[in-house]
Amino acid sequence: MEKIAIIDLGSNTTRLIVMAYERGSCFRLIDEVSEAVRLAEGVGPNRELQPEPIRRAVNALSMFNRFCKSTAVNHVVAVGTSAIREAANQEEFWRALRAETDLDLRIITTQEEGYYGFLGTANALGLRHGVTFDTGGGSTQVVAVQDGRPTESFSVQAGVLRFTERYVNSDPISKRDLRELRAAAQQAFSGLAWLKADTGQRLAGMGGTVRTLARIDQKARNYPLDRVHAYTLTRAAIAAISEQLIQKNRREREQIPGLKRDRADVTLAGAVIIEALMDQGGFSELTVSGQGLREGLFYAHFLAPNDPPILEDPRSFSILNLARLSHFQEAHCHKVAELSLSLFDQLIPLHGYGAWERDLLAQAAMIHDIGVAVGYYDHHKHGEYLVHNSLLLGFSHRESIMLSALVRNHRKGFTDATPYAAILKPEDSTRIARLSALLRIAEYLERGKSQVVQAVRVELGPPIRILVQATGDAQLEVWDAARRSNLFRKAYNQELEILLAPSPR
């Protein structure tokens, strides 16, 4: 696999990600480093970068560049955003950078910054209609999305570091400072007439501030899943966090669960900016994206020459990506999916499920054996862990938990979903059991991985009969599927017989 590094020098933080990939086929994140360099620190009305922030930024970029060279990265893409873009003394920064490293850094425009952020978020969340935004240290980019394409773009100098330095002059923040901070945030988005929460429109946020607010909210709720990507953050929750930050000084804020110390001074300004944006558009909630500008730059490279470089079906691609990285047996998984879906379709009179459950079953069938990449014994448990710890594009937290449960249940036993009761719906335990039962039967009918079983025909009873049509000796498959059918009996409250169908004359 080739390796590409993406370096993003922001106003507050500089970050490096390294992706290993096979172009157009699969990819995975193999390294990530970030450093809070605060390049925009001390930039006043004269828009001049200060010597110490320049030194910190150059040191970080030089270190990242050396790391890429020592780890045989094939390609490096490095970009700078608002702090350098707006600096009156850019040449001073360039002299310092060139004296330390040969890194090729490109300053991207506000339009490019919004576009690449849109690419990362649209692919990560499967967003086709809505609005994306990225609140950084120096600015906020907002992009309207229709039919998977950006239609409007807006950039404003409303960033967490910029607003903190300009408006937060007291600790805890004074009423006057807070009033001026909120007024500035509201003014920043007051002209965005197209920022509206219309039917079917989602608001998706990226960046360190959004992720920080999500972590604080999760800690406060004792949220059972340690993942902010695809997390739903409500306007009310942000207001509650803001009020908490308003009441505390920095030392007290550093003790808030989920809030990193290096963000204790800037998160209030970020929360106020996001509140103003949501109020302007009338959004009551937003979805957190774990991917943004850096991943957008990667997708532009990975999916070239697609225009725009958007995955046609992020969910299916994400599942196939995970399967390929785990060296899955493609023919076997497709057959298990085929048999599972055939059982699902024929049993609709019993379970009454629709397209959503059918898709989850199909996706789970493609990755049910990924745990074998770790080891055959207990590979269903390894697979559950891999699904839990993979960034699945386009899936909600509820769906990810259900997928991991289906993978866990495909062989034996039944995983307890109680720890995730705060995310799942009450009826999901039954839903998981019924889908798992179908996946398990299909898996054992294909246990030889030879596709000897061609099709199944269901006769609704009682008892339920599954007649297995085979092109060779399938006695072992039928025997093993029958003895693994207890989950079906419990989930459907029906007796089950699995029989070889008579050979056609």
491 within some domain: yes
pLDDT band, very low/low/confident/very high, at 197 (cuts 50, 70, 90): confident
Q: Which of 91, 108, 125 is the last residue of a domain?
A: 108
Query: Considering the domain boundaries, does residue 309 fall inside one?
Result: no
Q: Is residue 303 part of a domain?
A: no
Residue 44 has a pLDDT of 83
Q: How many distinct structural domains can be found in the chain?
A: 3
CB atoms within 10 A of CB 147: 7
- CATH number, domain containing residue 187: 3.30.420.150
Query: According to the model, what pLDDT value does residue 502 have?
Result: 83
* 135 lies in the same domain as 239: yes
| Residue of 487, 326, 353, 319 lying closest to 410 (CA atoms) | 487
The predicted pLDDT at position 45 comes to 86
- Residue 334: give the domain boundaries: 314-500
Mean pLDDT within 406-412? 95
Does a structural domain hold residue 489? yes
129 and 253 inside one domain? yes
> Could you tell me which of 263, 392, 292 has the C-alpha nearest to residue 6?
292
Please choose, from the candidates 252, 293, 286, 255, the residue with its C-alpha nearest in 3D space to the C-alpha of residue 271. Answer: 286
Is residue 445 situated within a structural domain?
Answer: yes
Residues 62 and 151 in one domain: no
Mean of per-residue pLDDT scores for the chain: 95
CATH of the domain at 347: 1.10.3210.10
* Whether residues 448 and 324 fall in one domain: yes
Domain boundary among 266, 294, 322: 294
Q: Percent of the chain scored above 90 by pLDDT?
A: 93
Same domain, 121 and 97: no
Q: Is there a single domain that holds both residue 340 and residue 258? A: no
pLDDT confidence of 257, banded at 50, 70, 90? Answer: very high
Per-residue pLDDT at 408: 97
Omega of the bond prior to 314 within 30 degrees of 0, cis?
Answer: no
Same domain for 419 and 271, yes or no, is no
Phi, psi of 403 (to 5 degrees): -60, -45
User: Average of pLDDT values for 258-277?
Assistant: 97
Residues 12 and 62 in one domain: yes
Sequence-distant (≥ 6) Cβ neighbours of residue 48 within 8 angstroms: 87, 88, 89
Q: Whose CA is closest to 407, among 392, 426, 427?
A: 392
Q: 322 near 160, Cβ under 8 Å?
A: no
Residues 460 and 361 in one domain: yes
End residue of a domain, out of 108, 132, 148: 108
User: Which residues in 232-254 are b (16+ Cβ under 10 Å) and which e?
Assistant: ebebebbeebbebbbebeeeebe
Residue 304 in any domain: the answer is: no
pLDDT of residue 504: 62
Enumerate residues 6+ apart whose C-beta is below 8 A from 329: 369, 449
Confidence of residue 252 (pLDDT cuts 50, 70, 90): very high
133 part of a folded domain: yes
pLDDT over 90 at 198, yes or no: no
The SS3 of residue 493 is coil
Which of 13-27, 136-150, 193-207, 445-459 is least confident?
A: 193-207
Residues 337 and 483 in one domain: yes
The predicted structure's pLDDT at residue 461: 83
| Share of residues in the chain with pLDDT > 70 (%) | 100
424-444 pLDDT per residue, tens: 999 999 999 999 999 999 999
Angstrom distances, CA of residue 57 to CA of 60, 317, 474 = 5, 36, 65
In a domain, 327, yes or no: yes
Grade residue 191 by pLDDT with cuts at 50, 70 and 90: confident
CATH of the domain at 73: 3.30.420.40
What is d(CA 393, CA 245) in angstroms, rounded to the nearest whole number? 32
Residue range 12-32: mean pLDDT, rounded: 95
Widest Cα–Cα separation across the chain: 90
pLDDT of amino acid 505: 54
Residue 71 has pLDDT above 80, yes or no: yes
Same domain, 102 and 128: no
User: Is this prediction's pTM over 0.75?
Assistant: yes
Sign of torsion over alpha carbons 432, 434, 435, 441: positive
Q: 331 and 464 in one domain?
A: yes
